Amino acid sequence: MDTVRALRYVSIGEATSFLVLLLIAMPLKYGADIPQAVSLVGPIHGVLFLAYIALVVAAREALGWDLRRTVLALVAGVLPVAPFLVERYWVKPAGSVDRAVDEATA
- The CA distances from residue 104 to 71, 80, 96, 98, 100, in Å, are 33, 33, 12, 10, 6
Q: What percent of the chain has pLDDT over 70?
A: 86
* Spatial contact of 33 and 45, defined as CB atoms under 8 Å apart: no
Q: How far apart are CA 52 and CA 60, in angstroms?
A: 12
Task: In whole angstroms, give the CA distance from residue 60 to residue 74.
Answer: 11
pLDDT of residue 1: 59
List C-alpha distances in Å: 81 to 33, 52, 72, 73.
26, 13, 13, 12
Check: CB of residue 15 under 8 Å from CB of residue 83.
yes
Q: pLDDT-based confidence at 98, cuts 50/70/90?
A: very low
Q: What is the pLDDT of residues 41-68, one digit of tens each?
A: 999 999 999 999 999 999 999 898 999 9
What are φ and ψ of residue 25, in 5° steps?
Answer: -65, -45
